[in-house]
Structure 1
Amino acid sequence: MQTEESAPPGRRERKKRETRAALMAAALRLALEKGPDNVTVEEISEAADVSVRTFFNYFPHKEHAILGRDPEELERALERLRDTPAGQSPLTTMRMLIAEALVDVEQDSATASQRFALIVQSPTLLSQFVLLGAEDERVLSAAMAERMGEPREAIRPMLIVAAASTAVRIAFEKQKDAGGRSVRSLIDEAFLLLADGVDPDFDKTTVFRTDQEGQS
């Protein structure tokens, strides 16, 4: 009889994904029922039929489980970023990464909506959501800079990744007031605005005037 340790990698990975999914589902359900601040790691573990020790093998704290934080998603995004054609524009690359991530969201839009509702209602979840987003942006920006042949501290890769992340956030925020439009269509609109420069009438000379005034 095969143990989990001796099972083929595919089976072990499936077991890990199933356990992570069970913990995320239990955490979200309990947070919706009791409120995020009133849920404990012990309750989540019991609901998912795993030990508390197992919980901490997957998540550092309960907020990550409620938010559905899956580190493998970031790893997949980094892999796809590195595999994109050399001539593809950075903004196009970010749009394609987001399009792939949206597939999972659209397949379970009810869960995504429930999580988003919890985030905007809970200062603790919102804080963790912002921190996680900033960390993801930092990692993606470094990978984007490498792909673009620019230094890790270069502004352009950071700005592209941050602008793409902001486009997604705004699309989710505006969907409820968008007359039935999909998140995907709102993201497309946001990316078209980014591609057009957002404000084509911007007076570039103001940048240099401000800089000169600061030095005087």
Structure 2
Amino acid sequence: MSDDGLGLREQKRRATRRALQVALLRGALERGLENATIDDACRAAQVSPRTFFNYFASKEEAIAGAPGPFEVPQEQLDRFVAGNRDVLTDLVGMIAANIDDTDDVEVHRLRKEVLEREPQLLGLRVAETQRFQQLAVRAATLRLRADADRAGVSVDEQAVAQRAGLVVLMAGAVLRHGWSRWVAAGGTSSLGASVLASHREFRDIAADVIASGDPAALGV
């Protein structure tokens, strides 16, 4: 086992995934999207074209950084629904534990350049973001219903849906801030750790606002 806790098999998997992405991204920057081929990327990564599809469904997916659906193991979802902390903290914690943490800052830099040149690829990222939001809202809804049941209060489905949407919007802001923090630090820590650090900062800010007792700050 390596110092970062990854076994040799996982290290090799991540290295291959990264090599394929870097080859495609650099190829797209040097020769254009149409001329960046899977075959060229596989030669650079020293794997077969068949192996490529163990990592990505398409060339566009690999370049755009849409690695597939965000999934949470059922046992983690069950723990989230049964959680006893505030719903936002538990949601961010669950996301941070399952976030795709295989890319690095160089990959993100290359991808940013490619997406600026090939804006049609943004649709893949937008679609994945929307799917993630739907999954997160569904999880938050289940949790809020469970919280209401545990408190012995009736469930107002409209209120639950609105609150779940707001919780996910706040979680999204924390994720974006965590990603920016991670990039600014040069990827020296894990992306999940950066997200958790941003959430702690969010909680500190919220606590300061509440402690101030300023009606204007509280929006009332």
Give the TM-score band, short-chain normalised.
Answer: 0.5 to 0.7
Whether contact under 8 Å (1:167, 1:190) holds in the other structure is: yes
Distance 1:100 1:41, change over 3 A: same
Residue 93 of structure 1: how far off its partner (Å): 0.8
For residue 168 of structure 1, what is the amino acid of its counterpart? Answer: L
What is the CA–CA distance in structure 1 between the aligned matches of 2:183 and 2:62, rounded to whole Å? Answer: 25
Aligned partner of residue 116 in structure 1, secondary structure? helix
2:139 to 138, 143, 149: 143
Provide, for residues 9-55 of structure 1, a one-character-per-residue CA deviation record: whole Å limited to 9, x for no partner.
Answer: xxxxxx9x799646622332213432362522333345452335x54
User: Which structure would you say has the larger RCO, counting Cα contacts within 8 Å and 6 or more residues apart?
Assistant: 2
Q: CA offsets, 1:152-209, max 9 Å, x none?
A: 981211221232122121232355668x9973533421344457779962434xxxxx
User: Of 48, 51, 59, which aligns to 1:50?
Assistant: 48
- Corresponding pairs, count: 181
| 1:100 is the counterpart of 2:97 | yes
The equivalent of 1:120 in structure 2 is: 112
Indicate yes or no: 2:76 matched with 1:80.
Answer: yes
The equivalent residue for 2:198 is 186
Q: Measure the CA separation in 2 of the matches of 1:161 and 1:34.
A: 36
On the 8 A contact 2:92/2:171 being kept in 1, the answer is yes
2:127 to 124, 131, 134: 131
What's the counterpart of residue 19 of structure 2? 26
The residue identity in structure 2 corresponding to 1:143 is: A
* Aligned equivalents of 2:54, 2:207: Cα separation in 1: 41
Q: Taking every aligned residue pair, what percent have the same amino acid on both sides? A: 25
The alpha-carbon distance between structure 1 residues 195 and 131, as it changes in their structure 2 partners (threshold 3 A), is: farther
TM-score normalised per structure 2 = 0.60
Distance 1:25 1:176, change over 3 A: closer
TM-score (norm 1): 0.61
Report the counterpart of residue 64 of structure 1 in structure 2: 61
* Root-mean-square deviation over aligned CA pairs: 4.1
Q: Residues 86, 32 of structure 1: CA spacing in aligned structure 2 closer, same or farther, 3 A cutoff?
A: closer
